Amino acid sequence: MTINNVKEDNTVDQLRRFKDTHNKKIKTDNDNNNKQSEKASWWINELDSLGIKKSNYNKTESNYLQNLEDLSDNKKQDFIRDYKICYSECR
């Protein structure tokens, strides 16, 4: 009877370790998704402040965050270029 109890204890321990490992992986995945979501929200707000509406974003692209960042940088460069043109003409 004690051999069965030992086997059951080992099985229970293995299941607990598996569950703990699985829960840690889920938590890590959720944390990564939250960080990525926060970054995307930041870039979307940045683009919104530059006058680019949300309908212009394609969330299905694999490099979604990079595209948001690039779009924001390009828009800023456009503003800087327009400012320099306007400033040089006004002198």
As a whole number, mean pLDDT of residues 21-47 equals 75
Supply the Cα-derived Rg of the chain in whole angstroms.
Answer: 26
Alpha helices in 1-91 (DSSP H): 2-49, 64-90
Query: How confident is the prediction for the chain on average, in pLDDT?
Result: 76
The answer to whether the CB of 78 falls within 8 A of the CB of 50 is no
Q: Could you give the CA distance from residue 4 to residue 10 in angstroms, rounded to a whole number?
A: 10
Kindly report the pTM of this predicted structure: 0.52
Label residue 1 by pLDDT band (50, 70, 90). Answer: very low
